[in-house]
Amino acid sequence: MSSDATRGESLRAILQRVAAGQLSPADAEEVIQRDQVADMGWAALDLQREARRGHPEAVYCEGKTPDQIVEITRRMMEAGQNVLLTRVRPEAWKELLRRLPKESRTECAIARSLHVACKIVPKKRGVVGVLAGGTSDLPVAEEAAFTAECLGSTVRRAYDVGVAGVHRLMRQADLLREARVLVAVAGMEGALPGVASGLTRAPVIAVPTSIGYGASFHGISSLLTMLNSCSPGISVVNIDNGFGAGFLADTINEIGESRVR
């Protein structure tokens, strides 16, 4: 058995090779066990997450050095997996742009996110809509949008549509009608997801941000508003958690895709 013959293959692909007589059960077991975890001493990469969840493990970069981030990226790409780097610190950003392969890299500076791809991600037909209440919410909104795009979703954005001028949201009627799932990002009082949910059939993922004046308590006010919304069909992620919202939106989109087929 070639050491690289099955590296990066999904569990289903490995089992198909066993069924076709191209791989013995013993070799398949060895590959699965070998590719489960990459123990780097200071990190243990879950290399089977893509087989289980459909997407590889993302890398939260806060607290990691550029050397560690580059080494994690290298190891994951060797295993045939794309790499999504989130929350890259400003002081590490330029160094990562210098050291990571430009030809396979996309970046979103406002979201502090990078994506390094070694294979093409199939595009989903369903649309993920990302709404942002105000310009100050864009770093979180773009983290959600960029995450969903890197995972294969088509994303349409509608920014600065907060409820202080609700007519701005009403102008997005086509998006509210077309989206398979909506991500609504807002600080201050956090009313945008509840209003959006009342105007669409799509599930709404609410993302509170830490934007606001003193009584917003760094996002607690908008979080509580979203949790207490009287409009059904809303789920709420943590404060400023654009990545979690983007991942969940893509997951919902993927489920809808399988039903369309």
Answer yes or no: is pLDDT of 2 > 70. Answer: no
Read off the pTM: 0.85
- Reported confidence tier of residue 1, pLDDT bands at 50, 70, 90: very low
Count how many Cα atoms sit within 13 Å of the Cα of residue 202 in the half-sphere of its side chain: 28
Helices vs. strands in the chain: H and E counts, helices first = 11, 11
Report the pLDDT averaged over residues 7-18: 72
Answer yes or no: is pLDDT of 81 > 90. Answer: no
Alpha-carbon distance values, 46 to 18, 56, 102, 201 (Å): 23, 8, 25, 36
Measure the CA–CA gap between 206 and 192, rounded to whole angstroms: 8
Report the percent of the chain where pLDDT is more than 90. 59
Task: Specify the higher pLDDT residue, 88 or 24.
Answer: 88
What are the pLDDT digits (tens) for 19-47? 998 888 888 777 766 667 777 778 777 77
Contacts (Cβ under 8 Å, ≥6 apart) of 115: 82, 83, 84, 85, 105, 106, 107, 146, 150
Report the pLDDT averaged over residues 107-128: 92
Report the pLDDT averaged over residues 167-193: 93
* Winning range, highest mean pLDDT, from 22-26, 61-65, 142-146: 142-146
- The pLDDT mean for the chain works out to 88
Query: Hey, what are 186's tokens?
Result: 């807002």
- Reported confidence tier of residue 5, pLDDT bands at 50, 70, 90: very low
Q: Domains of the chain: which residue ranges?
A: 19-116, 127-260
Answer yes or no: is pLDDT of 8 > 60. Answer: no
What are the pLDDT digits (tens) for 234-256? 999 999 999 999 999 999 998 87
- Reported confidence tier of residue 258, pLDDT bands at 50, 70, 90: low
Measure the CA–CA gap between 253 and 181, rounded to whole angstroms: 7
Q: What fold characterizes domain 127-260?
A: Rossmann fold (3.40.50)
* pLDDT score for 3: 43
CA 234, 238, 240, 241 dihedral sign is: negative
| DSSP letter assigned to residue 57 | P
Strands (DSSP E) found in 92-218 = 105-108, 113-116, 127-132, 154-159, 181-186, 204-208
* pLDDT score for 259: 64
Answer yes or no: is pLDDT of 106 > 90. Answer: yes
